[in-house]
Amino acid sequence: MTWSDLTVIAPFAAVVVVAALVILADIVKPGNRHLALGVVLAGLAIVGLLTLWTGQAPGTAFGGMYKVDNLTTFLDVIFVAIVALSCLFAPDYLEPRGLPIAEFAAILVFALGGAMLVAASADLLVLFLGLELMVIPGYMLAGYHKRDALSTEGAVKYFLLGSFSSAIFLFGLAYVWGLTGSTRIADVAARVGEIVAGQATLSPGLAMGLAFLTTGVAFKMAAVPFHYWTPDAYQGSPTPVTGYLSVGPKVGAFAVVLRVFAEALLPLRQEWLIVIFVLAALTMTLGNLVALTQDNVKRMLAYSSIAHTGYMLVGLAAYAAGVIGGLEGLLFYGVAYTFMNLGAFAVIAALQKRPGVSSRLETFAGLGRREPVLGILMVLFLLSLTGIPPTAGFFAKAYVILAAVQAGGWLTVLAVIAVLNAAAAAFYYLRVIVYMYMRDPTGEPAPVAHGALLRLGLGITAVMTVILGLFPGLLLPSVSSAAQAIGVAIR
């Protein structure tokens, strides 16, 4: 290990230190949430700065197993933002229910470490390590409200299916390793390229590897038909956890996809293009159709998050067809989705501050009158999720659709499927607005005071949702350079 190794892994090392410090703080002063939150937020700020600092000088560490490029930095910043926002939103929900905050924060930070490891992996083994480190805390968080039967049920489902999918993914990696003789992403790509170049059809081994990898990763990102764990896990988990689960592991899964499919298996892109095409179409359509019938907002957002996976896959499909804009669109979508979806879940969490308040649609009845600010913010997030301009969600959709149109051919059909889905999705997003503004509240619950952290977090998500919608140009240079890091001009 050299000094340069240390500077390259500095952000990751810092994450581990922060996680340890949070646990330590909770041991020294048990149950002191101010201390725990202070340590986490300060630590995350340092991690964020370190990430940006390391990102200035891309490089590799540990003999090329760990690398920092523009994509790593870009994804890391999203991950840090996701965890920081989740920590801002959590106290208001967890505290009245007597759920410990320090554990929540520490587990999240560990998950952050896993996600960052995935983003920085130049080796498939490191990638798998990161993947597991990222998802195992997720299982814990899902079942973290252990006296709640729904939470436990969701966690068990999530754990079982998650473990299966990890195993399947690993099995796929074994095939790839067996055929290429290497776990280094760059070597794998080169070797696969040589294998493919000489053959008209795909060798059975590679086909098996590709199939297993796709299945494993489709589970993680909750693509149809591998999505069954999502609604139960999302509905059962405490709301701030759901918010995190709907964003963190999903963006993380896309990081896996980028490293494995868009980088290591790039020579096979013609093959996985078809798979991604079908997955994208199915995921969008089924996610939206089922979301239409939900009357629980958390469950509705769970299905809608499945649909959003589909939109992001459209970008990936466009990239597979040779349009680098697809990759850019996918990354932009990830950022937009992070802020708008976390924001929407934060509003639900805020409404559920008083224990016992459900996340059913009736909870939202008359919200516009009871809590005008929360109402307006929820409208903003829902419009963004729908894709109505001028919000971040609109530009994100336009970006992936533009990429699909650029790719032409069948991908134009995918673009049309995507917009028809967006129109259908408007129905269930708008229904929440109907309840908030067009129905009278059932009973008149006493207003609750919202914590300063929650308000800060809501402010950040709302401002980002608007700014990325009005001035997407601000993010485009970073998106481009992140995409350039792995997407050589493949057309």
Partner 1 sequence: MDISSFPILSLIIFLPLAGALVIALIPRRNLAAIRGTALLFALATWVASLWLVLGFLPGRDVVASAAGSFQFVEAVDWIPHFGIQYKVGADGLSVALVVLTTTLSWISILASFSPIRERVKEYMISFLILEVGMLGVFLALDLFLFYIFWEVVLVPMYLIIGIWGGANRIYATIKFVLYTLVGSLLMLVAILATAFTFQAATGSWVGAFDLEKLAGSGFDGTFQLFAFAAFALAFAIKVPMFPFHTWLPDAHVEAPTAGSVILAGVLLKLGAYGFIRFAIPLFPHGAHVFAPLLIALSVIAIIYGAIVALVQPDLKKLIAYSSVSHMGFVTLGIFIFQAQGLQGAILQMVNHGLITGALFLLVGVIYERTHDRTLAKMGGLGAITPVYSAAFGFFVFASVGLPGLAGFVGEFLVFQGAFAFNPWLGVAITFVMIFAAAYLLWMVQRMCFGPVSEFLAGLGHHLTDMRPVEILTLAPLGALTVVLGLYPGLVLDLIAGPVKAVLAAVDPAVAMSIGR
* Interaction site with partner 1 (CB under 8 A): 368-369, 383, 387-390, 394, 398, 401-402, 405-406, 412, 415-416, 419-420, 422-423, 426-427, 430-431, 433-434, 437-438, 471-473, 476, 480
> Shortest distance, CB of residue 401 to partner 1, whole angstroms?
6
214: which 2 tokens?
A: 């796709």
Residues in contact with 337: Cβ distance below 8 Å, sequence separation at least 6, in sequence order: 247, 250, 251, 308, 312, 393, 396
Smaller CB separation from partner 1, 107 or 425: 425
Smaller CB separation from partner 1, 251 or 415: 415
Question: What distance in Å separates the CA atoms of residue 265 and residue 215, rounded to the nearest whole number?
Answer: 15
Residue found by looking up tokens 């969008």 in the block: 284
282: how many CB neighbours lie within 10 A of its CB?
A: 18
What are the DSSP calls for 209-232, one per residue? HHHHHHHHHHHHHT-TTS-THHHH
> Shortest distance, CB of residue 353 to partner 1, whole angstroms?
24
Smaller CB separation from partner 1, 144 or 381: 381
Smaller CB separation from partner 1, 216 or 368: 368
* Cis previous bond, 355, omega within 30: no
What one-letter code names the amino acid at 432?
V
> CA torsion, points 270, 272, 278, 279, in degrees to nearest 10?
-150
> Shortest distance, CB of residue 70 to partner 1, whole angstroms?
16
Q: Which one-letter DSSP state was computed for residue 182?
A: -
Smaller CB separation from partner 1, 55 or 393: 393
* Distance set, CA 460 to CA 84, 324, 346, 455 (Å): 11, 30, 11, 9
Smaller CB separation from partner 1, 49 or 438: 438
CA-based angle 478:483:487, to the nearest 5?
A: 155
> Shortest distance, CB of residue 437 to partner 1, whole angstroms?
5
Smaller CB separation from partner 1, 32 or 412: 412
> Shortest distance, CB of residue 477 to partner 1, whole angstroms?
8
Question: What distance in Å separates the CA atoms of residue 303 and residue 291, rounded to the nearest whole number?
Answer: 5
> Shortest distance, CB of residue 68 to partner 1, whole angstroms?
25
* Cis previous bond, 96, omega within 30: no
> Shortest distance, CB of residue 456 to partner 1, whole angstroms?
21
Smaller CB separation from partner 1, 4 or 442: 442
Cβ-in-10-Å burial (0-12, 13-18, 19+) of 202 comes to: middle
* SS3 state of residue 328: helix
Smaller CB separation from partner 1, 18 or 383: 383
> Shortest distance, CB of residue 268 to partner 1, whole angstroms?
26
> Shortest distance, CB of residue 71 to partner 1, whole angstroms?
18
> Shortest distance, CB of residue 447 to partner 1, whole angstroms?
16
Which runs of consecutive H residues, i.e. helices, occur in 183-296?
185-197, 204-221, 229-236, 239-257, 269-292
Residues in contact with 367: Cβ distance below 8 Å, sequence separation at least 6, in sequence order: 351, 374, 375, 378, 435, 436, 437, 441
Residue found by looking up tokens 């646990």 in the block: 23
Smaller CB separation from partner 1, 97 or 370: 370
Element housing 114 (H / E): helix 101-119
Smaller CB separation from partner 1, 189 or 415: 415
* SS3 state of residue 61: strand
149: which 2 tokens?
A: 């039967």
- 304 with 385: CB under 8 angstroms? yes
> Shortest distance, CB of residue 402 to partner 1, whole angstroms?
4
